Amino acid sequence: MEIIVSKKENKSAGKIFLYSDIKSLKSKCTKEEFQFLKNESSSNDVVEFGNYDTRKVIISSKKKAIEFFRKTAANLNLQGDFDLLCLDVSKTKTIAFLEGALLNDYSFSKYKSDYNSDSASINVVSTEIKATDLEQLENVIKSVNSARDWVNEPVNQLTTDNYLSQINQLTKIGVEVDVFRKSKLESLNMGGILGVNKGSNEEPALAKLEWKPKGYNNDKPIVLIGKGILFDTGGINIKTGNFMTDMKADMGGSATVVATIKAIAKNKLPIHVIVLTPITENRINGNELVPGDVITMHSGKTVEVLNTDAEGRLVLADALSFAKKFNPELVIDVATLTGSAFRLTGHNGAVVMGTSDKNIHQLKKSSETTFERIIELPMWEEFEDTLKSNIADLNNLGSGEGQAVCAGFFLKNFVDYPWIHLDIAGPAFIPSDKDYHKKGGTGFGVRLLYQFLKDKFDLN
């Protein structure tokens, strides 16, 4: 989709009008059209008329939330050329409309031999919207689409080496990338990452990405950590039924944080940000972990592995303890971690918990802006008690009840800084199209984290 800003209308294009007061439409329509719209708008927020070439869409913005504009743009399924005329609506609502149109324009079709894309072109006629506004929006959406692509890629294509190669491409936009492979992970005693990797025939990795521009605002870095399990069989506690079908999506947390730093760098936000993402598969090859094994983590703590399908928390724990060396202002980990979180939110949002009430409150506000919604779970000590082990410092499972909270408490053992845990098991991958979300990987969390950091550092 191509979007440009212009002061002139394209007479041969279809028209999309965003208005609040219907009187603002009077000069844009014939007398008959205006009377028709007065009648229709009393019961409809969106009115369409005309044929393909002269299609007109009239959208009332009166008392409408921002999300209305994203969904409306997506549900129009625009094709062809359009003028978008912003008559008496806010810049924020216009940007939201364009955001929905761009998000809806995504398709993962690289493996389809007969795919044809009919794209749209939008000419934004507005004195408020600038070319820089569009550039920043497009940079964010392209980053979301990168996350979608990575999640949608099958594991025989997105191998560890292939993913690292794509991560290294971010050096072209000023992101510094360091990659630790097996020998380095062994020297760092990262028993969680190495333990999960035992069943894989590919070496594991821990990728560190850093954006540290001149004049950055924060004395201490923000650290984002993403779970990068490229495929999760469950290990020896193998997933049954159809629960393994979409497990290429188990690196959704990694895709989110890598795409977030991409958006930050593309738009040159003056924030010092570090991303850590442990990358491996959870497979079976005869050398894998088995229930009852004890591993020693990077922090020095020992963990009794009671279930090999609770592997995400093991790799995250090593990254969380490694993050201490950066003396972070805040650490946010993002992971497709538990079915328990999915059962709470469905595909509609994520679960959040942590130790920083102030930042969680701000994250909630940012989630309302982006409509990437979150539910906070209380961290009750009763769930922490279930992580006790008879032979190690803790076990990796906890109770069957409240698994999302048990997983959060497990991770809490490896932090000593302000911390937020975001479990995106529900919204990271969806079974069918919904509004501007396309079937498969959604890139959930990229817009949320990007907006959160802009809000936190007053960069709006």
User: Is the pLDDT at 436 greater than 80, yes or no?
Assistant: yes
Residue 313 is a catalytic residue? yes
| Contact present, 425 and 337 (Cβ < 8 Å) | yes
For the whole model, what pTM was predicted?
0.96
Chain centre distance of CA 285: 32
Which residue in the list 239, 364, 373, 434 is annotated as catalytic? 239
Alpha-carbon dihedral angle through residues 448, 317, 426, 211, given to the nearest 10 degrees: 20
> Domains (ranges, CATH) in the chain?
2-127 (3.40.220.10), 138-456 (3.40.630.10)
Give pLDDT tens digits for 64-116.
999 999 999 999 988 889 999 999 899 999 999 999 999 999 999 999 988 77
Output the pLDDT for position 10.
87
User: Is the pLDDT at 117 greater than 80, yes or no?
Assistant: no
Higher pLDDT, 11 or 135: 135
Which residue in the list 313, 438, 447, 456 is annotated as catalytic? 313
E runs forming strands in 243-310: 273-282, 294-296, 302-304
Mean pLDDT of 145-168: 98
Give pLDDT tens digits for 191-241.
999 999 999 999 999 999 999 999 999 999 999 999 999 999 999 999 999
Alpha carbons 338 and 446: distance in angstroms, whole number = 20
Residue 55 is a catalytic residue? no
Tell me the percentage of the chain whose pLDDT exceeds 70: 99
The set of long-range contacts for 162-166, using a CB threshold of 8 Å and a minimum separation of 24, is: 163/228, 163/230, 163/251, 163/279, 164/205, 164/207, 164/279
User: Is the pLDDT at 284 greater than 90, yes or no?
Assistant: yes
Alpha carbons 299 and 72: distance in angstroms, whole number = 49
Mean pLDDT of 419-445: 97
Alpha carbons 142 and 381: distance in angstroms, whole number = 41
Output the pLDDT for position 52.
63
Alpha carbons 113 and 332: distance in angstroms, whole number = 40
In terms of C-beta density within 10 A (0-12 exposed, 13-18 middle, 19 or more buried), how is residue 339 classed?
middle
CB atoms within 10 A of CB 157: 12
Output the pLDDT for position 12.
81
Output the pLDDT for position 8.
87
E runs forming strands in 291-349: 294-296, 302-304, 330-335
Chain centre distance of CA 151: 10
Give pLDDT tens digits for 39-59.
888 888 999 888 766 688 988
Give pLDDT tens digits for 119-135.
789 999 988 999 999 99
Give pLDDT tens digits for 295-351.
999 999 999 999 999 999 999 999 999 999 999 999 999 999 999 999 999 999 999
Of 59, 57, 102, 44, which Cα lies nearest the Cα of 83?
A: 57
Output the pLDDT for position 104.
96
- Given the DSSP bridges, would you call strands 294-296 and 302-304 parallel, antiparallel or unpaired? antiparallel
Output the pLDDT for position 407.
98
